[in-house]
Chain A
């Protein structure tokens, strides 16, 4: 599931350069600067808008977020039970220990009312596959989104610092990156999640389901080196550019150079890379939960998938739903990422 940096060849387009030069001249040309800066983003938006596939993917992701955060509680209200509610008696789980087929009517022990399991039961606890699937979207998005945020914050800070200041700072950070890179990543993530996972699971900050932050912390801890390397390379090339040299010559401070010359040029690669990273963390979360070291009680696509091998000769549909959900979501993020890259850098569009 490694995301290679070769894919992300995002150069800062000509518009970016123009904007930067305009920004530096400043003062009387402030008017011009504002217009031209807007022009850069407008140009990108125009290119992006033409890409039907990327637009579709973006719409799908927005829809998914809506379903996960707003649709799920509505569905819960509508079917009359929650994703974690247990239906322990037949027909939700039959006498042979098999989960119910789609569209089975069950009696809710708490309310005494008849409820329906739209996609059947997910496991021997008789939990609702349909609700778990749409609540699972929330966990997948939270884990993937926050992990991406985590690796990007650490990665961009370290990578940009190393690239900008070079010297001993760069040496230290580069060595650290190299050490982290040499770790057998997945093996470590699995060991960590299994040993310290149950302890960390307690931390929810009151809003996140149990286990989400555990995975976020572990992923961030071992995933930051990819963005760090990319950002370092980007910053290294930017700081050699003429306009940075020019800025330095007229006596601009480091802070000012970073704020107005370096950071704006990192926005494009950060956005593109983040989008693609989200996809890989959706996959990783599902993988870990499948192995039983990720999310446990709360619904996640990974732990839904782990019912697959348990019932795969008797209830093969149980592995189809979560797998499809993962496929569509990662596909959408990958396509969106490609679309964004093309929009930022039309030259890369033949990729």
Chain B
């Protein structure tokens, strides 16, 4: 187990280096001039461009710059400064990550609830009206564009019905004192309802479909038939035999999907203008703020690798055969 763990961690480190290096290369492929942002953007003066270029070593070969970045990241845990605003990227990511985390984890809980309810009920009553409605939901859920769902929700519930805020984020731990900003758990929840719903629909649809199939398959298994034959109450059969076996693969799936969902959060954050990682990325990309983009990539990569590692370990723990391969 221990050796397996070490191997996975080393592999994760290697992946991390490859991914961050490729990000570097991508930005060097375009005619990018990060110094310009630092020097006042459109009206940058040659003297400033020269100074900044030298200071940040922007004229050095790409591997030298990468090494500088890597050293700083590993030894100081420092992602540097934004080229556009000069802000510390650690700080900016520190503020943005909780927003994205709220969205992704809240969304994950919501999609699991929806997926379970829809999936299990429609599996228990196949071809019923409920099942058919559920399948229509699944189809629309995987076919409608999340951006579009977001815009429609925003217009309907925010602008027309005024049930929810149109956009914006409220801090869970309360807004700064006397600031007048919305804050606290209730406001946080209230502001996140629409983003969660928007974000969860795609995954809820996929999970409902997967859970329905798994449950239906398990219902036909011999051990379920045996349990029923032994006269076990239907409720017990369902919970301790069917669901336990049907949901095991779903749980491991969830670990991997949370990493994938980080990317999908970009759309939801853009529609609701949530100040999360996705929005930082879009703003960074549009203003050539390579430092911010790299910061987001590093953070997202670490998060995804970590989730995958957890899934790997869980898997190995559940299924000892894996460790041998």
Contact = CB atoms under 8 A, between A and B. Distances in A.
A and B touch in the complex (CB under 8 A): yes
Interface of A: 1-2, 4, 6-7, 178-179, 182-188, 190-192, 194-196, 198-199, 279, 283, 286-287, 290-293, 305, 308-309, 312-313, 316, 319-320, 322-323, 326-327, 330-331, 334-335, 350-351
B285 A196 contact: no
B137 to A, nearest CB: 12
Given A184-B304, A187-B296, A319-B151, A327 B145 contact: yes
B30 A1 contact: no
B41 to A, nearest CB: 17
Contact of A316 (B155, B285, B305): B155
B314 interface: no
B92 interface: no
B82 interface: no
A195 B32 contact: yes
A326 B266 contact: no
B305 A191 contact: no
Interface string B279-316: 00110011000000100110011001100100000000
B112 interface: no
B144 interface: yes
Contact of B155 (A7, A184, A312, A335): A312
Nearest to A329: B143
Interface stretch (B83-91, B170-178, B208-216, B238-246): B208-216
A331 B143 contact: yes
A38 B22 CA distance: 48
A182 B301 contact: yes
A171 B210 CA distance: 30
Contacts of A198: 30
B1 interface: no
Nearest to B293: A191
A309 B166 CA distance: 12
A187 B151 contact: no
Given A291-B266, A309-B271, A323-B148, A182 B304 contact: yes
Given A293-B285, A350-B213, A286 B293 contact: no
A323 B262 CA distance: 23
A312 B264 CA distance: 22
Sort chain B's interface into a size bin.
35 or more
Contacts of B257: 2
Contacts of B104: none
B315 to A, nearest CB: 15
**Shortest 9 CB-CB contacts between residues of A and residues of B:** A186-B263, A323-B148, A195-B30, A330-B143, A331-B143, A184-B300, A194-B285, A182-B15, A327-B144
A186 B265 CA distance: 10
A331 B155 contact: no
B26 A190 contact: no
B322 interface: no
Contacts of B126: 350
A188 to B, nearest CB: 7
Contacts of B19: 179, 182-184
B18 interface: yes
A213 to B, nearest CB: 16
Given A187-B300, A312-B151, A350 B26 contact: no
Contact of B140 (A305, A309, A331): A331
B308 A191 contact: no
Given A309-B151, A312-B154, A6 B210 contact: yes
Contacts of B266: 186-187, 190, 291
Nearest to A348: B213
Contact of A185 (B18, B143, B152, B263): B263
B43 to A, nearest CB: 22
Nearest to A293: B285
A313 B226 CA distance: 60
A165 B258 CA distance: 34
Nearest to A280: B142
Contacts of A319: 148, 151-152, 155
Nearest to B213: A351
B159 A313 contact: yes
Given A1-B202, A2-B260, A184-B19, 11 more contacts: A7-B210, A179-B15, A182-B19, A195-B26, A195-B30, A290-B267, A291-B270, A293-B285, A319-B148, A334-B139, A351-B209
Most buried by B among A191, A198, A331, A351: A191
Nearest to A326: B145
A287 B267 contact: yes
B214 to A, nearest CB: 10
A334 B267 contact: no
Contact of B263 (A4, A184, A313): A184
A184 B262 contact: yes
> Among B144, B202, B271, B301, which residue has the most Cβ atoms of chain A within 10 A?
B144
B97 interface: no
A184 B143 CA distance: 22
Given A195-B26, A305-B148, A326-B148, A335 B213 contact: no
A290 B282 CA distance: 12
Contacts of A6: 210, 253
B23 interface: yes
A186 B264 contact: yes
Contacts of B142: 279, 330, 334
B260 A305 contact: no
A322 B282 CA distance: 22
B140 A1 contact: no
B144 A323 contact: yes
29 contacts: A1-B264, A178-B15, A182-B308, A183-B19, A186-B263, A187-B297, A187-B300, A190-B285, A191-B26, A191-B27, A191-B281, A191-B297, A195-B29, A199-B30, A293-B285, A305-B147, A305-B151, A309-B151, A312-B151, A313-B155, A316-B155, A323-B144, A327-B143, A327-B145, A330-B142, A330-B145, A331-B140, A350-B213, A351-B209
A192 B282 contact: no
